[in-house]
Chains A and B, each alone.
Chain A
Amino acid sequence: MRTRIVVFPGSNCDHDAHYAVKNILGETDTEFVWHKEESIGKDVDLVILPGGFSYGDYLRTGAIARFSPIMKDVIRFAKDGGTVIGICNGFQVLCESGLLPGALMRNDALKFRCTFVDLRTENTSTRFTSTLKGGQVLKIPIAHGEGNYIAEPEVIAELEANKQVIFRYSDEGGNVTPATNANGSINNIAGIVSKEGNVMGMMPHPERACEAALGSADGLNVFTSLQNYFQELRGIRKAA
């Protein structure tokens, strides 16, 4: 799984993502790409836009990163069907770039929240969630001040109808209520995929929950799902 992790000025979860994919998952072809580069390189399987505070969150979170030289190629890659994950600030960048619908606003409680949350899995038929069971609850940390997901009502209706919402903030038992909403997101939305299913954004940090020593290994599911997806894809290509 050739993985490229974009490093913006102010990214701070780039090394976490690199460690999760390379050291824990064992995918040796995992490298950083500096935002000034104009190409992500050839035959890339997965692009990760990591968490952090790209450009100091100036203007709006993710608003300036969208104009980094590398983003032209990331947008091209995504539009060609390439697999892209945006985590936390990466999710904000994907929304600002128009690769995912909606926007992320200040948390409703006005607080920066850094804590473990429970997430209920809503759709297991995506390349990001295939190792999970429907309704499975994951323990994954969040660390953000602006994760309050919003979109026009018709966009939300479309996301729900297409099962594009893949994770919701819940309690340990998988109950989704206003009390389990970490930041005020509409419908407790914590993660979504694009209509085509190749671009995923989530506020919680799966890369920070990939081994028991970190308090949870639940986040690894996102990466093993992708590993399986690309292995199967290669198998199909070989057979053809």
Chain B
Amino acid sequence: MRNVWIIAGREFRHYFISPMAYVLAFLLYLILGGLFAINIYVGMQSGQISPDGRLVLGPMVTILIFTTPIVTMRLLAEEQSSGTIELLLTAPVRDGELVVGKWLGALGFMVALTAVTWVYPLILHRMTDPGIDQGTLVAAYLGLVLMVSAILAIGTLVSTFFRSSLAAAGVTLAVILLLWIIGGFASGVGGANEVTRYLSFVSHYYDNFYRGVIDLKDVVYYLSLTVLSLFLASQVLESRRWR
């Protein structure tokens, strides 16, 4: 377990020295800040500010679905292209520890990134009376973290297949989008059933967490996706040795 923390710590710190992470943070805060300001402005003009704490959350979820693959793309792809994977795979570290450490570091960064956006609902809370519904907000943020953790795990898995970070990001995004549209697509061709609805990546979030409902079914969905992806990632790494 100590190895996991060491690797996660290095990964986490890496984000704070990488320009990519700052670009991502800058764009995210710029867009969300802009949206928030416009909403407040419009609200003040009409004399009615909507006390919905999820004001920035909706757009943020969309942005994160498209940008999280950038966060994970280099996790293992870069190690493989630069040869440092040889260093890690010959250190006394198990493949699983390496994978989980990498994912955890990325999760830490994403949690830090999204935690900052909590400031908008806090402002809103002070501007409105009787304030916003904190319970809904907590559920929505919890769901967001679970969903992001699943995206990160899928990204980590995809990253083990590639030497090119860009390819890893592209494929991760494709997988997420596929999971996203699978529900709608299946109902479009008349094949919608329990399974395709359950697989649908985003509906677990919007149908429940976003509305303030924490359903075990949705928690299990994201957690199992995370665990399965990380498990597969360590298997892929293991199989690399045998090739």
A and B found bound together: no
Residues of chain A whose beta carbon lies under 8 Å from any beta carbon of chain B: none
Residues of chain B whose beta carbon lies under 8 Å from any beta carbon of chain A: none
